[in-house]
Structure 1
């Protein structure tokens, strides 16, 4: 989670925003809670979250304005939202409601209190044990059955779209990405990748052929290989040749399955067959996992990851108790005009209020709840009881590790290098942060090498919105360069903390070898080196050393 930005809306439809969860190719995602009595434009009667993983909170996705301005996108988005509502079962995050006709369309799904598979493998724990991978295969096969039964193809099954909960994995963002497919303009997400994630694309997606549910089975095979080994089965974009070489390996080469448990290796290999018809169906995957006769552990995750589930529940409880986590507005620079009503973004509201409506609009255009405080308190109390129960169940399963954290004992809860959990509380003092500037400790030239490629990163002083990063890569047959502006700088000016960079743009080089990058985070390590982590990338971050 991260703070709401000063210009983020207070409400989206009937949802009161609490924090930012992340951004993707379709829009910005927020943690939110439904206002008591808030009217929904298109509430989903078919949403039945399973107990133990979802809370009263929602993940609300606000579509990017440039997509909202495309009438064709709106039509596809409306169709896909209607189809996604039909997805049932306990292995997905159900669609709660949406408004495709708002000034800026939005979609709300149940919030899943758990880390992503990508975070668990890349940062918190490492490759999962064999029993956990078998349980993962079973849970994802059930999820794909539910998605395909609704007439959808996920198209982007990847570790970042799989959340880990106490009762199994959950698949998110099902079917919605289809609305992006034929939008005019480059077939790129905000992270600068092809639609879908390169390491998990099926050959037919790369070739532009008609897609069937079999493309999700290919993604399932790649996900299982990643969960078992911590590596992509066809390599990653940072190997020589970049994305172009990766896509060629997917279509022509055999996967590297070294490290995949022997009892699952044949299944994973069959899921990664080049021909869609040669891959097993989700039902066949379930049958083959069951035929192994190997016991699935209970709980299905190792203790350190169970502890992480408890942390997520506690962090959500803290966030809801504290209310919205919003940074104070940054004072305008000299000569910079204040935003006016004529230039302000029009955020979606719950609709035109009537005299009997439980909500009204503020002069700024954001909806303000007028429901009684008693009703809001009752809703929050129910949520608190639910979240505390999740944390206690996880604590028991994890052998008390979560309890140790909650009581203040100094016990390691995550893999070395994982950032500590943070979060504002109701008693946190309010302060107005200074405008973001690149800390002096980050400025300079840094170099990293990976897979025969040499990366040169130069950071120059500057403020928010100013290009501060230039990045070049050199390898046989490859020469690319990028630039990225500063987005945020958390921590002390001396460099303790992190630096956030906005999505990068290509300044030299041609696609598909050179493509724009997504948001990234820089942090200094105790040994003086620098790590740059690209958001939503399955690859391990590069470590740079000062030149």
Structure 2
């Protein structure tokens, strides 16, 4: 099974390599949209500029707020909370707005490939690169969780490998959309990187991100999915019941990864504990 949502590489293509889609609006709020970078389940991502000339990534969401003032305000509040996340290995959220019925989120632009694309194009990471990635992304999760945000969609496509190191993107957006969408029921996310509680439709907390982090690091180390199957149901069954073989991982990561992949959320480390375990 291919990784869902990996057919596009959010924010990961240099602007000069993307042709402009003349059917898209050229301005949204105070921002100029120059190039469409890609599209996923939540919306389209554009490369653009802020009023002060800064390069930014503008995510134009599919969800529309036609006359739904309460839902719009709820969405704005949820994304505003994500702006509190310290910029430790994350792409900082700069602004959020709704123009007409179109919602958009403006973030720091990171030029680089996603982990998903990097592994597909060049193969698994070496041991040193993987350990550096593990430390940086666990630090990012610690910053996100310290702001009382749960990512809910941590996966290789949401980890960008920038020139100054890895950056985690799209944190907090899944919850913001769940709070306002008219079709919030059912299981959402990328099956192979979801936690057992997610695939079971149970409430999720920071521990869910820890499980997804481990599945993502496994992919970075091996180029394979930790939990695979021909159908989504088979992937869900693997997430709940299968224990992946961690021998391909660097020795320093095996024990922390095993703890992160505990099927019981209470048995997983916090992001802060994970950082310390990797750095020993």
For the aligned pair, the TM-score class normalised by the smaller chain equals 0.7 to 0.9
Select the residue among 13, 20, 23 that pairs with 2:39: 23
Once the two structures are TM-superposed, the CA of residue 100 in structure 1 deviates from its matched residue by 3.3
CA distance in 1 between counterparts of 2:276 and 2:109 reads 30
Spell out structure 1 runs of 4+ moving beyond 4 A: none
Select the residue among 225, 233, 236 that pairs with 2:218: 225
2:167 is paired with a residue of what secondary structure? strand
- In proportion to residue count, which structure has more helix? 2
CA distance in 1 between counterparts of 2:55 and 2:50 reads 7
Partner of 1:450: none
Aligned: 1:204 with 2:197: yes
Aligned: 1:215 with 2:204: no
Change (3 A) 1:106 1:266: same
Once the two structures are TM-superposed, the CA of residue 11 in structure 1 deviates from its matched residue by 0.7
TM-score (norm 2): 0.87
Once the two structures are TM-superposed, the CA of residue 230 in structure 1 deviates from its matched residue by 0.4
Once the two structures are TM-superposed, the CA of residue 102 in structure 1 deviates from its matched residue by 4.0
Change (3 A) 1:146 1:186: closer
Partner of 2:259: 270
CA distance in 2 between counterparts of 1:266 and 1:68 reads 46
Partner of 1:149: 146
2:102 is paired with a residue of what secondary structure? coil
Q: Mark the structure with the bigger radius of gyration.
A: 1
2:115/2:159 contact within 8 Å kept: yes
1:67/1:73 contact within 8 Å kept: no
CA distance in 2 between counterparts of 1:274 and 1:195 reads 19
Change (3 A) 1:84 1:70: farther
Aligned: 1:172 with 2:161: no
1:233/1:257 contact within 8 Å kept: no
Partner of 2:160: 163
Please show how residues 424-435 of structure 1 align to structure 2 within 5 Å.
none
Partner of 1:81: 79
CA distance in 1 between counterparts of 2:138 and 2:52 reads 36
* Aligned-CA RMSD value: 1.9
1:31/1:60 contact within 8 Å kept: yes
CA distance in 2 between counterparts of 1:84 and 1:233 reads 29
How many residues in Structure 1 have an aligned counterpart in Structure 2? 262
2:91 is paired with a residue of what secondary structure? coil
Please show how residues 84-103 of structure 1 align to structure 2 within 5 Å.
84-100=82-98, 102-103=100-101
Once the two structures are TM-superposed, the CA of residue 185 in structure 1 deviates from its matched residue by 2.4
1:112 is paired with a residue of what secondary structure? coil
Gaps of 5+ in 2: 1-12
2:113 is paired with a residue of what secondary structure? coil
1:73/1:179 contact within 8 Å kept: no
2:262 is paired with a residue of what secondary structure? coil
Once the two structures are TM-superposed, the CA of residue 166 in structure 1 deviates from its matched residue by 3.0
TM-score (norm 1): 0.46
CA distance in 2 between counterparts of 1:70 and 1:216 reads 34
1:154/1:175 contact within 8 Å kept: yes
Once the two structures are TM-superposed, the CA of residue 250 in structure 1 deviates from its matched residue by 0.5
Select the residue among 116, 124, 127 that pairs with 1:127: 124
Partner of 2:28: 12
Change (3 A) 1:275 1:82: same
1:68/1:74 contact within 8 Å kept: yes
Please show how residues 238-277 of structure 1 align to structure 2 within 5 Å.
239-240=229-230, 242-277=231-266
2:178/2:184 contact within 8 Å kept: no
CA distance in 2 between counterparts of 1:197 and 1:142 reads 22
1:226/1:233 contact within 8 Å kept: yes
CA distance in 1 between counterparts of 2:111 and 2:135 reads 20
Select the residue among 109, 118, 128 that pairs with 1:111: 109
Once the two structures are TM-superposed, the CA of residue 89 in structure 1 deviates from its matched residue by 2.6
Gaps of 5+ in 1: 38-55, 189-193, 292-547
Provide Cα deviations, 1:410-445, integer angstroms capped at 9, x if missing partner: xxxxxxxxxxxxxxxxxxxxxxxxxxxxxxxxxxxx
1:93/1:109 contact within 8 Å kept: yes
